[in-house]
Structure 1
Amino acid sequence: MVPSDYDNDELIFQDEDAPGEGDEEHYRVWNILIVDDDEEIHTVTRLALSDLIVSDRKLNFLHAYTGAQALEVLEEHKRDIAIILLDVVMETDDAGLNVVKHMREQMHLLEPRIILRTGQPGYAPEEQVIKTYDINDYKTKTELTRGKLMTAVIASIRSYQQLRTINQSRIGLQKIIQSAANLLEEHSVKGYCEGIVTQITSLIGLEAEGVVCARAGSVLDKEDDEGVYILGAAGEFASYINERVEQIHNPVIVEHINRCLKFQKHVFEHSFSVLYINSSGFEAAVYVNMRHELSELDRQLLEIFLSSVSVGYENVNLFHQLRNAAFRDWLTRLPNRNEFINMLDRPHQIESTSGVTMALVDINHFSDINDGLGQEAGNEVLSAVSNRLLEAFGPDVKKGRIGADVFGLIGEQSIVNPEKINAVFESSFIAGDHTLPINVTIGLTRLTGERNKGTIILKQSNIALNRAKKNLTDNYEFFAPEIEEKTTWRLSMIRRLRTDFADRKLQLWFQPQVDLISEKVVGMEGLLRWPDSDGSYISPAVFVPLAEYSGLIVDIGQWVLEESCARIRQLKDAGYGHLRVAVNISIPQFRDRFFVDKVKGAIEKNGIDPTLLELEITESVVMDEPQIVIDALRALKEYGVAIAIDDFGTGFSSMSYLQQLPLDRLKVDRSFVSDIQPGSNAFIAETIVTLGNKLGLSTIAEGVEKREQASYMLKLGCDEAQGYLFARPMPFDQLMIFLDDANS
């Protein structure tokens, strides 16, 4: 839960008589704005979070169903909203992002935290959008469980609290700086105290030299030291700043400073004065060396001035506390991401004989600890990891907490390396009543002599970390320039793919499938093509993984379905109503809870026979989410849609799952067909055809390029074939010509 230090933050909460749900009049509340065009999402979200109490405050829900309504609610409530749970796609594909842009740029609402949600991963915002508009989190609705939603809300409220605290304190400091600009110009306790001497002497028109002293107990970094230290000085005493007052070897000054602090009052003598400051537990004695006695009016002016100075000093200390908070992690007290980047900007300050390495250490499956044991246990794990890193790596290694479960290290390569980091996690960690083994993934960057920005070094280590998560042999990876180049290329290609898809530049080609006995066309497979700028085509082996990685595969797959159904209708109108069209389906499409309805909708929209649409799935798709796939295919099979297994025999599918699938056809993969050579025995191809016959399924051979391959497959009892021997993939217009020629 969030600390209760922010109880007086009135802007966050409704008044006691504000409308709420249930008995919220007994609580001050966090306002949560839910923006979604689906009423069910509002209901489910409200129910999931109804019992959540953060820092002794319940949640109060505001509702909007369009982007326009959301802006109206934001305009009405202004700065009273803590979190916005925002759907990306509503009345338009970018309605949610337009709301974000308007509230940040036009309404200047920078404090409310934003959690984007969508049922259509293809409309996920780009990384730059998330950074530019300060979006806290992005989740698809299917992955946002109650536990993850609660975790995201709690973390966002904490972030909101911190922003509110810092911003409100910043506003207060700005007012003080505006009224006493010279006094607070240096933004430091020492500079402030030096300013006191200058301001006092300037106020009463004296040429004076003096020192500013304070009890060390009121200095944050010397809490256990009760000595009196010189914080600021002028003239001949300036060289004693930060030294104990006894070091100035002037018994008169030492005696009267101690006297002032002991009796807690001003001391006025003929040749000097010692002025007492006390504000919020801070005590200071200001010694001023005079050339003449102060008049009564001067004394009154000084007392008035010191009254204001005490308030000013309190705010200077507040400034330092806030500055510390801005660069320190609240839980572990390690430097946070901002301060860690500052340290990376100064690698030359790290002594090294073998070179300097920066490492990101990511705790694996940390969300499982939060979800399973609770956030308190998660916080205890983070504290335990922090403590062990402090113990294992000495003061020469810079440390920081970079993210929720990510720590950073900067140090000599002989110390900051995978072996020594992994050694830290060899034994389990104690978190309350739990003893937990912790595994980590490590991304490392060797710092060169070049002066790179800290943000660049951190980005490089993050790239290495992401690469390490895909490493099957080791849990670490060092950054190399080619990794960044590949990442940059992938992001560039994804942007191109998204743009070309939006501009309808993708094409659907068709490759005929023939009956092996008559060699007449019985159907065709729809194949996606992406034209390149030079007139060539980008391979599906390149762009399909990119589409899956970016979430675009769902929208592209739906377009292929609709385009195929439209082409089936055109074939029927042209007299080829008996020809089927096969379409490949990916696992992200099955995860879409509206997938079955979308397939039916495409069929009904075009008024076609569902048996003419064949859905092709690979074995890997079945094994990834078996029950989801089986349920969807059964529903579509009952509707009349044909089902085929593509590339059969290349995966490791379970026969138990295979028997549960409502299949019509097995496709023998081209790799097994290519094994067919004169005098050879293609055992696997024969096995697949035999299995298909035993299960009562049709079989079709892919990649048939030679006559002997077609003859062999026919001999085995294979029903159909597809390959260059009969026809290459072609645009739909050429397909129509091909069909007309074949029937002439």
Structure 2
Amino acid sequence: MMVQDEDLIDFADDVPPPSRRDGEPAARWTLLIVDDDEEVHAATRFVLKDVQLCGRPLRLLHANCAAEAAACLAREPDVAVILLDVVMESSDSGLMLVRHIRDTMQRSEVRIVLRTGQPGYAPELKVIRDYDINDYKTKAELTHTRLITTLTAAVRAYDQIRTIAENRRGLELIVSASADLMEAHALNTFAEGVLTQIAALLHLPGDGIVCAQKGSPLDDRDKVLHVVGAAGRLAPYISHPLEQLGDPEITAVIRDCIARKSHGFGPRHTVLYLHGSHHEAAVFLRTHALLEAGDRQLVTVFASNLSSCFGNIKLVERLNHLAFHDPLTGAGNRVSFLTDLAEAGAGERGSGLVACLLDLDRFTDINSALGHDVGDQLLLAVAARLAEAFPGCALARVHADGFGLIGPAALLTPERVFATLQAPFAAGEQQLAVTARLGRCQIEPGTSGNTLFRRAEMALTQARMSPDRRECDFKPAMEERTRRRLDLIRHLRHDFLANRLAVWYQPQVALVGDGLVGVEALLRWPSDDDFVQPPDVFIPLAEDSGLITAIGEWVLDQACATLHRLQQAGGPALRMAVNVSMPQFRLVDFPAAVARVLAAHGILPSALELEITESILMEEPGVVLDNLKALRESGVHISVDDFGTGYSSLGYLRELPIDTLKIDRSFVVEIDSGRGDLFAEMIVAIARKLGVGTIAEGVESAAQLSRLRELGCDIVQGFLYARPMPVEALEAWIAGRPKDHVRH
């Protein structure tokens, strides 16, 4: 008996509307009717015409057999409910289709309502138990009302299952996206990834921007918000300040999010607040409706993960920035300069470029006299002026007081570089005039960055050593000289450790009485072929290599041991003169070290004379004066070597506790000329005014000796009397002197 159709009231008002993703149209529920009876299709269309379920209209699909249904499902991914006839081309075709849908097609969300025109053909309990279906009805009992009720329950179940699946998918996406984003090492890559992942999470078109608080990468000093990633119509604004968007609404929403430090959900937008340990960002997304509670919860969880990723990206960018930039000036550092040099050397434009190294003069004095804050401000000012003067050139701070430049040779000329530094620099309250030395190297294609840097340093070293030039261009011969110099340093170190260095001695004779009054200890470096390296060659090598302190201590010990040997042999009362280097004088305990050596050999302090050069006196007067006073108070004599070759102040000399001025050999050689004689006479006069003695070195002729005696010089040494000699030869020389020529 047919059951009379009943009118149906739309049940949508009694059912809360399902969640709908923003950006989707007013979606329809898709229903698939599978039956081999055309009348069933027509009746279903008639009953469901203009019906809405849970707030949405219906979209009906039809299939006349299981094969058509399977093909339709393959094309339609969003079928919500299937009304399926159990018996069609075969008695179990409907049930086989159910198994195909669930097992083969893996469509677990779609709801299936079985309909049969043969009651009892398939036992209801068994079908419900063995097949994943939602309901089992006979066609006779599916009246208008019951059909709508059944479909409403099925649609509701489908929506709930889909929501659960979407949430699960969203959480899985969050975990996966967070892992992917954590691997990003650049802020722009991270920003692009955020937009992509959120758009996928919410099924939104990618129409948003990411704004981060930064100047140079993550620089706290610049609070301007910049767009670091964008999609959709806002993509052209990447790397621009936020204000340039020209959209006051977006700007206001993002600034409000940053100010409130919380997410913002509006009817036309979503803004997520991200923060690291010291930095903040905002993710703006355009929407067309307020996000549902479930979606808000998802993006909130996602934002928490993004904040962790954001902190990681900021840290990586900060580390990357510090790896290639000088933290004080913001210019590149040595690493970035070497990278730029390598790129320039590898490019075809290399032949037109030069690498420059610029070293500020007396920067250490500025730090010492005015403080490191002033020194830092000076470096900032120099870097800023160089960047302004040479905007197209690579600029880096490569040393504490040195900068590097890479650019066209026609632009980076010495004249232009020095002209840039000519005006004084403002450093705090100071106006500082700066001079510098410049080394340049032509960039040849195919040359490595390290090689180019080394060549520029060679040129800079030559410029530093030159007394009358401030700049130097690299020449190939410099590399050979440098290689030879390094070889000499290596051999010097080896021979010193192997105890192959020697101390020779040159007698010092008083002009009054012609008596032997002292000897000077002179370091010698003999080689296998009996060649002796000149001291003016290897002493600078020892200073540059750091060996000079150890060698100086050894020479002092050897000299005192020799003096003790001479005294024990009943020799004359001599004073031993030993040269001292600046690195030795810098040692705080140098006077104490001298006292220990004297005590170890039983030598009175008055029997030792330490010679320091005039340049040492002027280089670090504070350190020098303290040590000189301590040594002089202990009884050690002090002699100023090479006097007249430097620029010491007579006023400063009056303050120094010295005993002797040594007239340099260069003046003695020219004593027969007017100039040499004038300097020698002047030095003797200064010594008399200061109340100290004089020693002339390099005396080789009787005429020189005669003139020095006329000038009133006290002591002389030179080839005229004796060449430097080993201790055994010195003992023989002393023994061969007439007794009245040896002072006891």
Matched, 1:417 2:413: yes
Q: 1:416 is matched by which residue type in structure 2?
A: L
CA, structure 1 residues 497+192, in 2 after alignment: closer, same or farther (shift >3 Å)? same
Deviation at 1:353, TM superposition (A): 9.7
**How many Å apart are 1:462 and its aligned residue?**
4.1
Kept in 2, the 8 Å contact 1:188–1:316? The answer is no
Aligned to 1:544: 539
Among 191, 196, 209, the alignment partner of 1:215 is 209
* 2:553 partner amino acid: Q
Secondary structure of 2:537's match?
helix
Give secondary structure in 2 for the equivalent of 1:346.
helix
- TM-superposed deviation, 1:449: 1.2
- 2:133 aligns with none
Measured after TM superposition, the shift of residue 697 of structure 1 is: 8.0
Partner AA of 2:209 in structure 1: R
- For residue 525 of structure 2, what is the amino acid of its counterpart? W
Instruction: Give the distance between the partners of 2:311 and 2:606, measured in 1 at CA.
Output: 77
Flag structure 2 segments of 5+ consecutive residues without an equivalent. 1-173, 217-222, 239-249, 258-262, 276-280, 740-744
Structure-1 residue corresponding to 2:282: 282
8 Å CA contact 1:692–1:698 kept in 2: the answer is no
Counterpart check, 1:731 vs 2:737: no
SS in 2 for 1:729: coil
1:469-489 Cα shifts (integer Å, max 9, x gaps): 444445433333444554554
Q: What is the alpha-carbon distance in structure 1 between the residues aligned to residue 576 and residue 228 of structure 2? A: 88
8 Å CA contact 1:668–1:701 kept in 2: the answer is yes
Distance 1:337 1:700 in 2: 49
CA contact (8 A) 1:596 1:636 kept: yes
Residues 1:398 and 2:394 are matched in the alignment: yes
Q: Give the TM-score, by structure 2 length.
A: 0.54
Residue 602 of structure 2 aligns with an amino acid whose one-letter code is G
Q: Secondary structure at the match of 1:558?
A: helix
Please tell me the root mean square deviation across aligned C-alpha atoms, in Å: 5.9
Q: TM-score, normalised by structure 1?
A: 0.54
Report the CA distance between 1:427 and its aligned residue: 3.7
After superposition, the C-alpha distances for 1:463-515 in whole angstroms (9 at most, x for unaligned) are 44444344444543333344455455445544544454344332112234557
Corresponding residue of 1:563? 558
Counterpart AA for 1:345: A
Name the SS of the counterpart of 1:477 in structure 2: strand
Tell me whether 1:531 sits opposite 2:549 in the alignment.
Answer: no
Aligned pairs for 1:61-80 within 5 A? none
Change beyond 3 A, Cα 1:337–1:284: farther
- The answer to whether the 8 Å contact 2:501/2:526 transfers is yes
Give how far 1:311 is off.
4.2
Q: 1:355 aligns with which of 352, 357, 362?
A: 352
Residues 182/545 of structure 1: CA separation in 2 closer, same or farther (3 Å cut): same
Query: CA distance change for structure 1 residues 547 and 420 in 2, over 3 Å: closer, same or farther?
Result: same
- Cα drift, residue 342 of structure 1: 3.1
**1:557 is paired with a residue of what secondary structure?**
helix
Distance 1:506 1:442, change over 3 A: same
Q: Does 1:448 align with 2:444?
A: yes
Distance 1:277 1:698, change over 3 A: closer
1:335-354 alignment, distance < 5 Å: 335-347=332-344
Q: 1:218 to 1:443 in 2, by over 3 A?
A: same
Q: Distance in 1 between matches of 2:619 and 2:213?
A: 60
Q: Which residue of 1 aligns with 2:60?
A: none
Unaligned segments of structure 1, at least 5 residues: 1-175, 233-239, 246-256, 268-273, 288-295
Counterpart check, 1:325 vs 2:307: no
Alignment partners' CA distance in 1, 2:234 and 2:622 = 73
* Matched AA of 1:346: E
Tell me: CA distance 1:673–1:450, structure 2 relative to 1, closer, same or farther (3 Å). Answer: same
Q: Deviations over 1:7-62 (max 9, x none)?
A: xxxxxxxxxxxxxxxxxxxxxxxxxxxxxxxxxxxxxxxxxxxxxxxxxxxxxxxx
Report deviation, 1:566. Answer: 1.9
Q: Deviations over 1:435-458 (max 9, x none)?
A: 5555444433322112413x4434
The answer to whether the Cα contact below 8 Å between 1:200 and 1:302 also exists between their aligned partners in 2 is no
1:505 aligned onto 2:484: no
Tell me, yes or no, if the aligned pair for 2:209 and 2:231 is still in contact at 8 Å.
no
Match of 1:12 in 2: none
C-alpha offsets along residues 353-400 of structure 1, whole Å, 9 cap, x if unaligned? 971223344455556666666666655555544444444334x33334
Determine whether 1:478 maps to 2:473.
yes
In 2 relative to 1, CA 654–387 (structure 1 residues): closer, same or farther, beyond 3 Å?
closer
**Partner-residue secondary structure (3-state), 2:723:** coil
Q: 1:313 to 1:368 in 2, by over 3 A?
A: same
Deviation at 1:339, TM superposition (A): 3.6
Per-residue CA shift, 1:203-249, capped at 9, x if unaligned? 99xxx9x96442254597999999997549xxxxxxx995689xxxx
Q: Is the 8 A contact 2:610 2:637 kept in 1?
A: yes
Q: Is the 8 A contact 2:360 2:402 kept in 1?
A: yes
Cα separation, partners in 2 of 1:179 and 1:590, compared to 1, 3 Å: same
* 3-state SS of paired residue (1:528): strand
Q: Cα distance, 1:674 vs. partner?
A: 5.1
Distance 1:732 1:285, change over 3 A: same
| Distance verdict in 2 for CA 1:178–1:556, change over 3 Å | farther
Question: Does the CA-based 8 Å contact 1:230-1:242 persist in structure 2?
Answer: yes
- 1:241-252 to 2 correspondences below 5 Å: 242=235
Report if aligned partners of 1:213, 1:286 keep a CA contact under 8 Å in 2: yes
Preserved contact between residue 689 and residue 718 of structure 1 (Cα < 8 Å): no
**Does the CA-based 8 Å contact 2:695-2:715 persist in structure 1?**
yes
CA contact (8 A) 1:193 1:231 kept: no
Provide the C-alpha distance between the structure 2 equivalents of 1:634 and 1:319, rounded to a whole number of angstroms: 54
Give distance in 1, aligned partners of 2:631 and 2:369.
37
Aligned to 2:104: none
| Farther off after superposition, 362-371 or 420-429 | 362-371
The answer (yes or no) to whether the contact 1:616–1:645 under 8 Å persists in 2 is yes
The answer to whether the aligner puts 1:602 opposite 2:597 as a matched pair is: yes
> Which residue of structure 2 aligns with residue 146 of structure 1?
none
Separation of aligned partners in 1, 2:589 and 2:633: 17
Please state whether the residue corresponding to 2:538 is helix, strand or coil: helix
Give % identity.
37
Tell me how far 1:569 sits from its aligned partner: 2.0
Please give the residue correspondences for 1:630-645 in structure 2 after superposition, counting only pairs within 5 Å.
none
User: Of the two, which has the highest radius of gyration?
Assistant: 2
Specify whether residues 177 and 712 from structure 1 end up closer, same or farther in structure 2 by C-alpha distance, changes over 3 A only: farther
SS for the counterpart of 2:499 is: coil
State the distance in 2 between where 1:469 and 1:694 align: 36
Deviations 1:399-446 (A, max 9, x none): 344455544433222223333333433444455666555544443332
How many pairs were matched up? 532
CA distance in 1, matches of 2:624, 2:606: 19
- How far apart are the structure 2 equivalents of 1:499 and 1:177? 62
Does the 8 A contact of 2:421 with 2:435 survive in 1?
yes
